[in-house]
Chains A and B, each alone.
Chain A
Amino acid sequence: MTAGLTGARPRGILLLGLLALEMLAAVLVGPTAIAPWAVLSALGHPNSASVVAAIVWQVRLPRIVGAAFVGAALGLAGAILQALLRNPLADPYLIGTSAGAGLGATVAEIALPQLGLMPLGAFVGATLAVLAASSASRMRGAGSVTIVLVGYALSVVLGAVTSLLLAFDHTALLSVYFWFLGGLGGVTWLQILTLGAVLAVGLGVGVYHRRELDALAMGEAQAYYLGVDVQRTRLVLLLLAGLTTAVAVAAAGLIGFVGLVAPHVARRLFGASHDRSLVASAAGGAGFLVLADTVARSLPFGEVPVGIITALIGGPFFIWLILRSDRRRSP
């Protein structure tokens, strides 16, 4: 329809093609040296009893698909939060949503161990944290940097409370810590199914509301006049951001900056309207995290948590965004 779309469809296909190629390349990489042709042939035989098939199907693929899904969930959450908070600096990790998920999971594990309520706890924690950040963003006169600072402080406080709780309960410490630092190495096919289901719902609800995101980014008053049911839509989208963040944290621990970087790249490539940039944010998040995870597990001195790689890339980008937003404010 609008002018950008003629170029947006081929670009979208190109982006998805690149993502597929990137994932394919990622399967070829790993600590066990396997010839590329052997990997490719194992891809065609998921039920083969060979060691190569086991490595490809039980170790590498779940990790790569998991990285793609977690990255997509974080990219989607980041895009939604940036629009709702009217803040291009928002990211589920930076504004405390991820830390809320971590605390919620910890509380669930300590209060009701053995019930497997950590993902539910993560969802409740993430949702409460996202509601807190969103009410801070609605205060008069709070600039985007202020809101991110408040969100970051929230994140630090929630993290401190989590550590405090864990210091009292060593049994929980083991399971929660394993889970937090889990990275993408421990992702199972069952988790991938959950992630995929939540991601599908998230993309569906997000795509349904993509123009509302444009309207809400103009402020609540203008969104109201454009015919948006502001209260309901905000709540649905905040819950969605909480949910996608929670499943990402539940599967892979605290990973920062994916939700910050992906929407920026998506808007740069597809235009600012969420009509096209929302899905691209999810795809971009997937691509970013698959890449970061492949780097994280291919370093010559051994594997590092993937969050280190995303922070090394996203951190400087974040600083650059802050400096740029300051310059824009003072003419």
Chain B
Amino acid sequence: MVDITPADGIPPAEVAEMELYHPHSWWTKYVFSQDAKVIAIQYSATATGIGLVALVLSWLMRLQLGFPGTFDFITPEAYYQFITMHGMIMVIYLLTALFLGGFGNYLIPLMVGARDMVFPYVNMLSYWIYLLAVLVLVSSFFAPGGPTGAGWTLYPPQAIMSGTPGGQDWGIILMLSSLILFIIGFTMGGLNYVVTVLQGRTRGMTMMRLPLTVWGIFTATVMALLAFPALFVASVMMLLDRVLGTSFFMPAISEMGEQLPHNGGSPILFQHLFWFFGHPEVYIVALPAFGIVSDLISTHARKNIFGYRMMVWAIVGIGALSFVVWAHHMYVSGMHPYFGFFFATTTLIIAIPTAIKVYNWVLTLWRGDIHLTIPMLFALAFIVTFVNGGLTGLFLGNVVVDVPLSDTMFVVAHFHMVMGVAPILVVFGAIYHWYPKATGRMLNETLGRFHFWVTFLGAYLIFFPMHYLGLMGVPRRYAELTDMTVMTESAHHLNSFISIMAFIVGFAQMVFLFNLIWSIRHGREAGGNPWRATTLEWQTPQTPPAHGNFGKDLPIVYRWAYDYSVPGAKEDFIPQNMPGSFGPSREPA
């Protein structure tokens, strides 16, 4: 046994604990629950459900692109509705909701040592408004004219004109209404996550002892609270343009020989508002993934994360910088070309903290004790795809290189690799990692390995070759690739190959869903801490943790989250709530 000495510097509790609201019935326990863990599972299940819709839409698109002219029901109109809904669902309703509403709700209170979020009732409202937003979005599939086909960027003036599906029907109105609801719901949850991290930490849990998962989700939430208002006002203004006939974004327009009653608005103003939200949004999805993957690598390599302080500052730095790079989405939008000098410079500067994170992940592997568990496999696959997608960002961020590549399949390949595939690989890794805590059972290993290999290699085979279609000049958002000189015979073959890979990767996700459901009852019993991890969520008295998380007394934190393989310690991990000293502390402070 190690020598346990009283640790210094643990402050006394400042305020007495408040009693939680305890549910009295099945309804308040499982449906209108105020427990962050239940809300997390509600968020995750809803996001997964709507995500499956997006997956099916991607198949329909790939049917059209891979086998043009074969499927008559995929008209250009339908195709544009599919791309719009696929993009919006994946970015907002799946990834944002899953990382912040799902992982944020589950992990923040457990990891900082709190009994729950600080405002449980508002937290519950957040989920129900999110659900309403999803239902409004889904309803547009059944509305007259169908959902909007304006592309997920919803650029005016076309978004609200008759040449675009849903532009003069219900589609665009329902889309904008759903976004407004989503932002309201998110703000309620987001304030909770931020205040809980700032005010709800247990004794001894200083900010610089937080696991990087919490740092990632916390910073992303702060960014979302600052970025979403831009989308909110843009949505309200476009809704007014569409419904009341104002002209915020609508200049004088002659549509098919008819003069529209708009005048004086600025379409490019919308683009600035949209990307002022849209670029931070990329990092709202990426930063939680950065944080989570750091913890997966550290835990499964049995080694402290390399350069913790640098990692924290890189997260914060990326978050701040991401607010001054938005117009790199607009190099060929027709904005003043001198903006290009500024935004190319800021965009390439952001590559530096991002590269530091990559170095620190791979240096964590160096001289580690690497257990090739499924979460670790997904973490490794994340690094490959993220490095690949991040490096192609250096093409698109460097203003003049963007000119030929912008609006081509290169862009589609880039953003799918960097903010589609990479974060979703982290989501999978995280689910394999924390599923035992949430259910008490392990996911099936064989199915998991099958799921990993097909998803990782398949996704890479989909998106890596796709860059080269863009290099050839094949534009994105083309419902038909016919009568085009850039579309050579071999390019059509490549498209068919990509489509077939997309169906295979999609099938692997069905295996994953089966595993999720099957393992709830039939998985191997996990115990409280199957990965022998240090962070507080693995130290709860019950698994899954009960309401209130930590039993009678809250844990007291004596050390940082990364005491793996400490020299002199008997075990190769020391939980954060274990007191005692093991030689001179090397915890960065």
Q: Do A and B bind each other?
A: no
